Amino acid sequence: MSEERIVNYWKENEEEQIINLSLRPQNLSEFIGQEGISSSLSISIEAAKKRTEPLEHLLLSGPPGLGKTSLAHCISKEMNAKFTATSGPAIERAGDLVGILTNLEAGDILFIDEIHRLSRVIEEFLYPAMENFQIDFIIDKGPYAKSVKFNLKPFTLIGATTRKGLLSAPLRGRFGLFFDFDFYLPEDLAVIVRRSAKLLDVEIDEGSALEIARRSRGTPRLCNRLLKRARDYAQVLGKGIIDADITRESLDKIGVDKQGLDDLDRKYLKAIINLHKGGPAGIEAIAATLSEDRLTLEDVVEPYLLKEGFIVRTPRGRIVTELSYRHLNISCNKES
């Protein structure tokens, strides 16, 4: 079910990856939103440049689709550094990591997405690499085993994670800079919509840009996805211009309402209301009711619902708020 959601902003198909590369900001001045992160990073980058040193290792955390990868690319451009990207699940053996690290030049940036999914064995290799720019690699086995030390060139590791709490304390402690991403304000997303529309060579008015922004769940990746759907409608059913009518029709048709909720979000809320009398309801029970994976609900569905106040988490489970009842036009009566 969830694979087909338009708001699956944590997944990109190949076509979207290509298009999103063209929409990605090229430097910090083009990076919209997250002002606290951008301003702090600017100072750290300028200081590193003056010392002619690599930037400190930094950890970017927050829900998917908020621009962690885009910011990492901006950092590499600001530092005039080569960018090498991989992900935690992709590094299966220590030899894979050794190969990546030994190919890095001085000042290069290594970006590891989903860094919380690194195995503990791989983490052990990362510790000396991050601290002393060295790695110890064991070759042969048994009585013939010996340790070979590799000296690495100074580099910057940028880790990105959607679940910072799953990082081990030793790994987390070796980062020098920490930045937590938050959902974007509609005003910031509207700026992103207008910028992306310009790059996609499609005309959009101010009101429509803000409407798309409001339905984008505070997420730039989803913002661009909804813009492309509206563009399709404008080119086929309109005059090639994204106006208020085209925006409403296109987004309503794909099931994204004015608060950015889609069918799965509404089913989630209705399951708690109808089957659990508004809660509290355990996440396992909700997942079973919806035939959805628990992690999908925890990582993708719930963060936005919590942020917007549709649900609250308690020790006993999830409880829907009065806002959910109003949004779904359901009478706030737990006996119903």
Q: Which of 24, 68, 215, 217 is catalytic?
A: 68
Taking alpha carbons only, the member of 219, 213, 246 closest to residue 231 is 246
The one-character DSSP state at 183 is P
Distance from C-alpha of 135 to C-alpha of 241, rounded to nearest angstrom = 56
Q: Quick check: 66 and 10 in contact, CB under 8 A?
A: no
Contact present, 331 and 325 (Cβ < 8 Å): yes
- Spell 190-206 as b/e; 16+ CB within 10 A means b: bbbbbbbbeeeebebee
Kindly name the residue from 5, 24, 221, 228 that is annotated as catalytic.
221
Comparing C-alpha atoms, which of 235, 191, 241 is closest to residue 212? Answer: 191
> Which of 161, 162, 219, 296 is flagged as catalytic?
162
Residue 221: active-site member: yes
- DSSP annotation of 29: G
Two structure tokens written together for 128: 């000396």
Check if 113 is active-site.
Answer: yes
Q: Which of 69, 156, 247, 321 is catalytic?
A: 69
SS3 content of the chain, % helix, strand, coil (to 5): 50, 15, 35
- Residue tagged active-site, from 108, 113, 188, 262: 113
Sheet with 177-180, edge to edge strand ranges: 83-87, 109-113, 156-161, 58-61, 177-180
d(CA 235, CA 221): 21
Burial class (CB in 10 A: 0-12, 13-18, 19+), 51: exposed
- What angle (nearest 5°) sits at the alpha carbon of residue 293, between those of residues 288 and 297? 95
Q: Establish whether 52 is a catalytic residue.
A: no
- Give the 3-state secondary structure of residue 96: helix
Show the tokens assigned to 327. Answer: 């949004």
Residue 12 token pair: 């990109």
CB contact burial 15-31 (16+ within 10 A = b; e otherwise): eeeebbeebbbeebeeb
Active site residue 228: no
Is there a catalytic annotation at residue 162? Answer: yes
Active-site residues, by number, are 68-69, 113, 162, 221
